[in-house]
Amino acid sequence: MDLLTNPIKDYPWGSRTAIAELTGRPASGPEAEMWLGAHPAASSRLTRDGAEITLADAVAADPVGTLGEAVAGRFGQRLPYLMKVIAVDAPLSLQVHPDADQAAAGHARGDANYTDPWHKPELVCALTPFTGLAGFRPPEQASMLVERLHVNALQPVVAALRDGDVLAALRALLEWPGSRRELVESVVWAASACHTPDYALVVRLARRYPEDPAVLAPLLMRRHTLAPGEALFLGAGVLHCYLDGLAVEIMACSDNVLRAGLTGKHIDVEELLRITDAAAQPLAVEPVGGAYVPPVPEFLLRRVESGAVEVLPGGLPRIVLCTEGVVNVRTASGSEVKLRSGESVFADASEGPAEIGGDGVAFCAQPQI
Protein backbone atom coordinates (compact mmCIF):
# COMPACT_ATOMS: atom_id res chain seq x y z
CA MET A 1 0.00 0.00 0.00
CA ASP A 2 1.08 3.56 -0.67
CA LEU A 3 0.16 6.71 1.20
CA LEU A 4 -1.05 9.36 -1.23
CA THR A 5 -0.32 13.03 -1.56
CA ASN A 6 -3.30 14.55 -3.37
CA PRO A 7 -3.42 17.77 -5.43
CA ILE A 8 -5.87 20.49 -4.45
CA LYS A 9 -7.62 22.70 -7.00
CA ASP A 10 -8.03 26.35 -5.96
CA TYR A 11 -11.07 27.23 -8.07
CA PRO A 12 -12.77 30.44 -6.86
CA TRP A 13 -15.99 28.66 -5.83
CA GLY A 14 -14.11 26.63 -3.22
CA SER A 15 -14.20 26.92 0.56
CA ARG A 16 -11.41 28.57 2.56
CA THR A 17 -11.95 26.19 5.48
CA ALA A 18 -13.60 22.86 4.60
CA ILE A 19 -10.76 20.91 2.96
CA ALA A 20 -8.20 22.56 5.21
CA GLU A 21 -10.09 21.41 8.31
CA LEU A 22 -10.57 17.92 6.87
CA THR A 23 -6.83 17.58 6.25
CA GLY A 24 -5.67 19.44 9.38
CA ARG A 25 -3.70 22.15 7.61
CA PRO A 26 -4.12 25.87 6.91
CA ALA A 27 -5.46 27.17 3.61
CA SER A 28 -4.15 30.30 1.92
CA GLY A 29 -7.19 30.77 -0.30
CA PRO A 30 -10.27 29.00 -1.68
CA GLU A 31 -9.86 25.23 -2.02
CA ALA A 32 -12.47 23.61 -4.23
CA GLU A 33 -11.42 20.02 -4.95
CA MET A 34 -8.94 17.45 -3.70
CA TRP A 35 -8.25 14.86 -6.43
CA LEU A 36 -7.52 11.25 -5.50
CA GLY A 37 -6.61 9.19 -8.53
CA ALA A 38 -4.41 8.93 -11.59
CA HIS A 39 -5.88 11.49 -13.98
CA PRO A 40 -2.92 12.99 -15.90
CA ALA A 41 -4.14 16.54 -15.26
CA ALA A 42 -3.67 16.18 -11.49
CA SER A 43 -2.51 12.74 -10.40
CA SER A 44 -2.02 11.75 -6.78
CA ARG A 45 1.59 11.12 -5.81
CA LEU A 46 3.27 8.36 -3.83
CA THR A 47 6.77 7.24 -2.88
CA ARG A 48 8.41 4.17 -4.43
CA ASP A 49 12.03 3.16 -3.71
CA GLY A 50 12.70 6.49 -2.06
CA ALA A 51 11.48 8.56 -5.01
CA GLU A 52 8.17 10.42 -5.38
CA ILE A 53 6.22 9.50 -8.50
CA THR A 54 2.68 10.00 -9.71
CA LEU A 55 0.05 7.32 -9.31
CA ALA A 56 -0.44 7.61 -13.08
CA ASP A 57 3.20 6.64 -13.61
CA ALA A 58 2.90 3.76 -11.14
CA VAL A 59 -0.05 2.38 -13.09
CA ALA A 60 1.75 2.81 -16.43
CA ALA A 61 4.81 0.97 -15.12
CA ASP A 62 2.86 -2.19 -14.27
CA PRO A 63 -0.75 -2.00 -15.47
CA VAL A 64 -1.73 -5.61 -14.82
CA GLY A 65 -0.01 -5.84 -11.45
CA THR A 66 -1.46 -2.52 -10.32
CA LEU A 67 -4.98 -2.77 -11.75
CA GLY A 68 -5.49 -6.54 -11.92
CA GLU A 69 -6.14 -8.55 -15.07
CA ALA A 70 -9.90 -7.94 -15.15
CA VAL A 71 -9.65 -4.14 -14.80
CA ALA A 72 -6.74 -3.81 -17.21
CA GLY A 73 -8.54 -6.05 -19.68
CA ARG A 74 -11.69 -3.97 -19.63
CA PHE A 75 -10.39 -0.41 -19.21
CA GLY A 76 -6.86 -0.58 -20.55
CA GLN A 77 -3.78 0.81 -18.85
CA ARG A 78 -5.56 3.36 -16.68
CA LEU A 79 -7.27 3.59 -13.31
CA PRO A 80 -10.91 3.89 -14.46
CA TYR A 81 -12.18 6.10 -11.64
CA LEU A 82 -11.32 9.43 -10.01
CA MET A 83 -12.35 10.28 -6.45
CA LYS A 84 -12.58 13.85 -5.18
CA VAL A 85 -13.44 15.80 -2.07
CA ILE A 86 -15.40 18.85 -3.22
CA ALA A 87 -15.97 21.90 -1.02
CA VAL A 88 -18.63 24.15 -2.56
CA ASP A 89 -18.79 27.63 -1.03
CA ALA A 90 -20.22 29.36 -4.10
CA PRO A 91 -22.21 27.89 -7.01
CA LEU A 92 -20.33 25.95 -9.67
CA SER A 93 -20.81 26.46 -13.38
CA LEU A 94 -24.00 25.31 -15.07
CA GLN A 95 -22.70 22.19 -16.81
CA VAL A 96 -23.28 18.82 -18.41
CA HIS A 97 -21.13 15.77 -19.21
CA PRO A 98 -21.08 13.72 -22.46
CA ASP A 99 -21.87 10.05 -22.90
CA ALA A 100 -19.18 7.60 -24.01
CA ASP A 101 -19.83 7.97 -27.75
CA GLN A 102 -19.96 11.77 -27.59
CA ALA A 103 -16.72 11.90 -25.60
CA ALA A 104 -14.88 9.57 -27.97
CA ALA A 105 -16.10 11.43 -31.06
CA GLY A 106 -15.35 14.88 -29.62
CA HIS A 107 -11.85 13.86 -28.58
CA ALA A 108 -11.17 12.24 -31.97
CA ARG A 109 -12.13 15.37 -33.89
CA GLY A 110 -9.89 17.53 -31.68
CA ASP A 111 -12.70 19.47 -29.99
CA ALA A 112 -11.07 21.31 -27.07
CA ASN A 113 -14.16 20.63 -24.94
CA TYR A 114 -13.20 16.95 -24.86
CA THR A 115 -9.82 16.65 -23.18
CA ASP A 116 -10.43 12.92 -22.59
CA PRO A 117 -11.93 10.22 -24.85
CA TRP A 118 -14.12 8.90 -22.01
CA HIS A 119 -17.46 9.79 -20.50
CA LYS A 120 -17.79 11.33 -17.04
CA PRO A 121 -20.71 9.87 -15.06
CA GLU A 122 -20.41 10.90 -11.41
CA LEU A 123 -21.79 10.19 -7.96
CA VAL A 124 -21.75 12.70 -5.11
CA CYS A 125 -22.10 11.60 -1.46
CA ALA A 126 -22.66 14.36 1.09
CA LEU A 127 -20.37 14.85 4.08
CA THR A 128 -22.37 17.90 5.21
CA PRO A 129 -25.77 19.13 4.00
CA PHE A 130 -25.23 19.49 0.26
CA THR A 131 -27.38 21.33 -2.28
CA GLY A 132 -27.45 21.40 -6.05
CA LEU A 133 -29.58 21.90 -9.13
CA ALA A 134 -29.90 18.88 -11.41
CA GLY A 135 -32.31 18.01 -14.19
CA PHE A 136 -35.15 20.12 -15.57
CA ARG A 137 -38.43 20.81 -13.84
CA PRO A 138 -41.65 19.91 -15.68
CA PRO A 139 -42.02 22.70 -18.25
CA GLU A 140 -45.42 23.78 -16.95
CA GLN A 141 -43.94 24.31 -13.47
CA ALA A 142 -40.97 26.23 -14.87
CA SER A 143 -43.32 28.36 -16.97
CA MET A 144 -45.33 29.31 -13.89
CA LEU A 145 -42.20 30.31 -11.97
CA VAL A 146 -40.83 32.46 -14.80
CA GLU A 147 -44.22 34.09 -15.47
CA ARG A 148 -44.53 35.03 -11.82
CA LEU A 149 -41.65 37.46 -12.29
CA HIS A 150 -43.79 39.57 -14.66
CA VAL A 151 -40.73 40.52 -16.74
CA ASN A 152 -42.07 41.14 -20.25
CA ALA A 153 -38.71 40.49 -21.89
CA LEU A 154 -38.92 36.85 -20.75
CA GLN A 155 -41.95 36.06 -22.94
CA PRO A 156 -39.86 34.01 -25.44
CA VAL A 157 -38.71 31.85 -22.51
CA VAL A 158 -42.28 31.45 -21.26
CA ALA A 159 -43.53 30.61 -24.76
CA ALA A 160 -40.93 27.86 -25.16
CA LEU A 161 -41.86 26.40 -21.79
CA ARG A 162 -45.56 26.48 -22.65
CA ASP A 163 -44.66 24.47 -25.74
CA GLY A 164 -42.93 21.96 -23.49
CA ASP A 165 -39.47 22.71 -24.92
CA VAL A 166 -37.14 23.31 -21.97
CA LEU A 167 -34.02 23.27 -24.17
CA ALA A 168 -35.47 26.06 -26.34
CA ALA A 169 -36.19 28.03 -23.16
CA LEU A 170 -32.63 27.51 -21.98
CA ARG A 171 -31.28 28.53 -25.39
CA ALA A 172 -33.36 31.73 -25.28
CA LEU A 173 -31.65 32.65 -22.02
CA LEU A 174 -28.11 31.60 -22.89
CA GLU A 175 -28.18 33.34 -26.28
CA TRP A 176 -29.90 36.47 -24.99
CA PRO A 177 -29.84 39.05 -27.85
CA GLY A 178 -30.21 42.25 -25.83
CA SER A 179 -28.50 43.78 -22.82
CA ARG A 180 -27.76 40.92 -20.46
CA ARG A 181 -27.11 43.26 -17.55
CA GLU A 182 -30.47 44.99 -18.02
CA LEU A 183 -32.25 41.65 -18.11
CA VAL A 184 -30.55 40.42 -14.94
CA GLU A 185 -31.31 43.70 -13.18
CA SER A 186 -35.00 43.37 -14.09
CA VAL A 187 -35.03 39.77 -12.91
CA VAL A 188 -33.38 40.66 -9.59
CA TRP A 189 -35.88 43.44 -8.96
CA ALA A 190 -38.79 41.07 -9.58
CA ALA A 191 -37.30 38.06 -7.80
CA SER A 192 -36.55 40.10 -4.68
CA ALA A 193 -40.29 40.56 -4.20
CA CYS A 194 -40.96 36.80 -4.36
CA HIS A 195 -40.12 35.38 -0.97
CA THR A 196 -39.39 31.74 -1.75
CA PRO A 197 -36.05 29.86 -1.92
CA ASP A 198 -36.04 29.53 -5.71
CA TYR A 199 -36.23 33.27 -6.27
CA ALA A 200 -33.79 33.97 -3.42
CA LEU A 201 -31.30 31.72 -5.21
CA VAL A 202 -31.79 33.68 -8.45
CA VAL A 203 -30.89 36.86 -6.56
CA ARG A 204 -27.86 35.15 -4.96
CA LEU A 205 -26.58 34.02 -8.35
CA ALA A 206 -27.17 37.44 -9.88
CA ARG A 207 -25.01 39.11 -7.25
CA ARG A 208 -22.12 36.92 -8.42
CA TYR A 209 -22.91 36.97 -12.16
CA PRO A 210 -24.69 40.29 -12.88
CA GLU A 211 -24.50 39.87 -16.67
CA ASP A 212 -25.41 36.20 -17.01
CA PRO A 213 -29.02 35.21 -17.83
CA ALA A 214 -28.16 31.71 -16.56
CA VAL A 215 -28.98 33.09 -13.09
CA LEU A 216 -32.55 32.06 -13.98
CA ALA A 217 -31.55 28.39 -14.00
CA PRO A 218 -33.12 27.73 -10.54
CA LEU A 219 -36.54 28.39 -12.07
CA LEU A 220 -35.97 25.83 -14.86
CA MET A 221 -34.26 23.11 -12.82
CA ARG A 222 -34.96 20.84 -9.84
CA ARG A 223 -33.30 21.53 -6.51
CA HIS A 224 -31.80 18.60 -4.57
CA THR A 225 -30.68 18.71 -0.94
CA LEU A 226 -28.64 15.80 0.43
CA ALA A 227 -28.18 14.99 4.10
CA PRO A 228 -24.81 13.53 5.15
CA GLY A 229 -24.55 10.00 3.77
CA GLU A 230 -27.09 10.56 0.98
CA ALA A 231 -25.89 10.22 -2.60
CA LEU A 232 -26.93 11.31 -6.08
CA PHE A 233 -25.77 9.84 -9.40
CA LEU A 234 -25.56 12.07 -12.48
CA GLY A 235 -25.28 10.35 -15.82
CA ALA A 236 -24.63 11.80 -19.26
CA GLY A 237 -26.76 14.70 -20.40
CA VAL A 238 -27.97 15.79 -16.93
CA LEU A 239 -27.73 19.57 -16.65
CA HIS A 240 -26.51 20.43 -13.15
CA CYS A 241 -24.95 23.00 -10.86
CA TYR A 242 -23.76 22.35 -7.29
CA LEU A 243 -24.57 25.17 -4.87
CA ASP A 244 -23.04 24.52 -1.45
CA GLY A 245 -21.71 21.83 0.89
CA LEU A 246 -18.87 19.34 1.36
CA ALA A 247 -18.97 15.94 -0.33
CA VAL A 248 -17.02 12.97 -1.60
CA GLU A 249 -17.43 12.65 -5.35
CA ILE A 250 -16.46 9.73 -7.56
CA MET A 251 -16.56 9.60 -11.33
CA ALA A 252 -15.13 7.91 -14.37
CA CYS A 253 -11.56 9.14 -14.87
CA SER A 254 -12.43 11.99 -17.22
CA ASP A 255 -12.41 15.78 -17.11
CA ASN A 256 -14.92 16.40 -19.92
CA VAL A 257 -17.19 19.29 -18.90
CA LEU A 258 -19.43 21.42 -21.13
CA ARG A 259 -20.38 24.73 -19.49
CA ALA A 260 -23.26 27.08 -20.20
CA GLY A 261 -22.85 29.86 -17.67
CA LEU A 262 -22.24 30.91 -14.06
CA THR A 263 -18.49 30.67 -14.62
CA GLY A 264 -15.42 32.51 -15.80
CA LYS A 265 -14.26 29.37 -17.65
CA HIS A 266 -14.80 28.50 -21.31
CA ILE A 267 -18.47 28.34 -22.38
CA ASP A 268 -19.78 26.51 -25.44
CA VAL A 269 -23.55 26.98 -25.50
CA GLU A 270 -24.13 25.20 -28.80
CA GLU A 271 -22.24 22.05 -27.83
CA LEU A 272 -23.80 21.98 -24.37
CA LEU A 273 -27.30 22.21 -25.80
CA ARG A 274 -26.45 19.48 -28.30
CA ILE A 275 -25.52 16.93 -25.64
CA THR A 276 -27.98 17.96 -22.91
CA ASP A 277 -30.83 15.48 -22.50
CA ALA A 278 -33.98 17.39 -21.53
CA ALA A 279 -35.51 14.27 -19.99
CA ALA A 280 -32.41 13.12 -18.04
CA GLN A 281 -32.67 13.29 -14.25
CA PRO A 282 -30.24 12.44 -11.46
CA LEU A 283 -30.70 9.17 -9.61
CA ALA A 284 -30.80 8.88 -5.82
CA VAL A 285 -28.52 5.99 -4.83
CA GLU A 286 -29.20 4.18 -1.56
CA PRO A 287 -26.26 2.30 -0.03
CA VAL A 288 -26.51 -1.48 -0.09
CA GLY A 289 -24.26 -3.06 2.48
CA GLY A 290 -22.43 0.25 2.77
CA ALA A 291 -21.80 0.48 -0.99
CA TYR A 292 -23.20 3.07 -3.38
CA VAL A 293 -23.46 1.19 -6.66
CA PRO A 294 -24.15 3.35 -9.75
CA PRO A 295 -25.28 1.99 -13.15
CA VAL A 296 -21.77 2.22 -14.66
CA PRO A 297 -18.83 -0.22 -14.34
CA GLU A 298 -15.98 2.24 -13.75
CA PHE A 299 -16.61 2.76 -10.06
CA LEU A 300 -18.50 2.16 -6.87
CA LEU A 301 -18.08 3.95 -3.56
CA ARG A 302 -18.15 2.24 -0.18
CA ARG A 303 -18.69 4.08 3.13
CA VAL A 304 -17.27 2.38 6.23
CA GLU A 305 -18.86 3.67 9.43
CA SER A 306 -17.03 4.20 12.70
CA GLY A 307 -16.82 0.93 14.63
CA ALA A 308 -17.57 -1.21 11.56
CA VAL A 309 -15.12 -3.55 9.86
CA GLU A 310 -15.27 -4.29 6.13
CA VAL A 311 -13.34 -7.15 4.54
CA LEU A 312 -13.07 -6.67 0.77
CA PRO A 313 -11.87 -9.22 -1.79
CA GLY A 314 -8.54 -8.78 -3.56
CA GLY A 315 -7.73 -8.30 -7.21
CA LEU A 316 -8.94 -4.69 -7.50
CA PRO A 317 -7.21 -1.30 -7.25
CA ARG A 318 -8.64 0.70 -4.34
CA ILE A 319 -8.24 4.15 -2.85
CA VAL A 320 -9.24 4.53 0.80
CA LEU A 321 -9.85 8.01 2.25
CA CYS A 322 -10.42 8.74 5.94
CA THR A 323 -12.89 11.60 6.48
CA GLU A 324 -13.25 11.41 10.27
CA GLY A 325 -11.34 9.94 13.21
CA VAL A 326 -8.78 7.17 12.66
CA VAL A 327 -9.12 4.23 10.25
CA ASN A 328 -6.94 1.14 9.93
CA VAL A 329 -6.35 -0.50 6.54
CA ARG A 330 -4.77 -3.96 6.39
CA THR A 331 -4.17 -6.19 3.39
CA ALA A 332 -3.45 -9.89 3.02
CA SER A 333 0.08 -9.07 1.84
CA GLY A 334 0.90 -7.88 5.34
CA SER A 335 0.67 -4.14 4.71
CA GLU A 336 -1.00 -2.04 7.40
CA VAL A 337 -1.65 1.71 7.45
CA LYS A 338 -3.36 3.95 10.01
CA LEU A 339 -5.18 6.86 8.38
CA ARG A 340 -6.28 10.08 10.05
CA SER A 341 -8.82 12.56 8.69
CA GLY A 342 -7.88 13.70 5.20
CA GLU A 343 -5.29 10.97 4.67
CA SER A 344 -5.59 8.34 1.94
CA VAL A 345 -3.89 5.21 0.65
CA PHE A 346 -3.74 3.31 -2.62
CA ALA A 347 -3.88 -0.49 -2.49
CA ASP A 348 -3.15 -2.12 -5.83
CA ALA A 349 -4.70 -5.34 -7.08
CA SER A 350 -1.76 -7.48 -5.97
CA GLU A 351 -2.28 -6.61 -2.27
CA GLY A 352 -5.02 -9.21 -1.90
CA PRO A 353 -8.10 -8.86 0.33
CA ALA A 354 -8.29 -5.69 2.43
CA GLU A 355 -9.75 -5.04 5.88
CA ILE A 356 -10.95 -1.52 6.72
CA GLY A 357 -12.14 -0.45 10.17
CA GLY A 358 -11.50 1.66 13.25
CA ASP A 359 -12.92 4.58 15.18
CA GLY A 360 -13.41 6.71 12.13
CA VAL A 361 -15.24 7.02 8.81
CA ALA A 362 -13.68 5.91 5.54
CA PHE A 363 -14.65 6.00 1.88
CA CYS A 364 -13.29 3.32 -0.43
CA ALA A 365 -13.28 3.69 -4.23
CA GLN A 366 -12.93 0.77 -6.62
CA PRO A 367 -14.14 -0.48 -10.02
CA GLN A 368 -17.28 -2.64 -10.05
CA ILE A 369 -15.59 -5.61 -11.73
Q: Report d(CA 142, CA 161) in Å as an integer.
A: 7
- Amino acid in the structure at residue 164: G
Residue 39 burial (CB count, 10 A) = 24
**Cα distance between residue 188 and residue 202, in whole Å:** 7
| 185: amino acid identity, one letter | E
Is 365:349 a contact under the CB 8 Å cutoff? no
Kindly tell me the burial class for residue 104, based on how many C-beta atoms sit within 10 Å of its own C-beta (0-12, 13-18, 19 or more): middle
Residues forming beta bridges with residue 355, ordered by sequence position: 311, 330
Distance in angstroms (rounded) separating the CA atoms of residues 84 and 255: 12
N-to-C CA span, the chain: 20
Give whole-number Cα distances, 158 to 59, 138, 216, 220, in Å.
52, 13, 12, 11
- With CA atoms as reference, report the closest residue to 133 among 317, 319, 261: 261
Residue 185: count other Cβ atoms within 10 Å of its Cβ. Answer: 14
Burial tier of 224 (Cβ tally within 10 Å: 0-12, 13-18, 19+): buried
Rounded Cα distance between 280 and 264, Å, is 26
Burial grade of 355 (CB within 10 A; 0-12, 13-18, 19 or more) = middle
**Residue in 78, 171, 222, 259 annotated catalytic:** 259
Strand 33-37 relative to strand 300-304, pairing: unpaired
Q: Are the beta carbons of 86 and 31 closer than 8 angstroms?
A: no
The helices-and-strands tally (H runs, E runs) of the chain is 12, 23
- 129 class by beta-carbon count within 10 Å (0-12 exposed, 13-18 middle, 19+ buried): middle
DSSP 77: S
259 is catalytic: yes
| Catalytic sites, residue numbers | 259
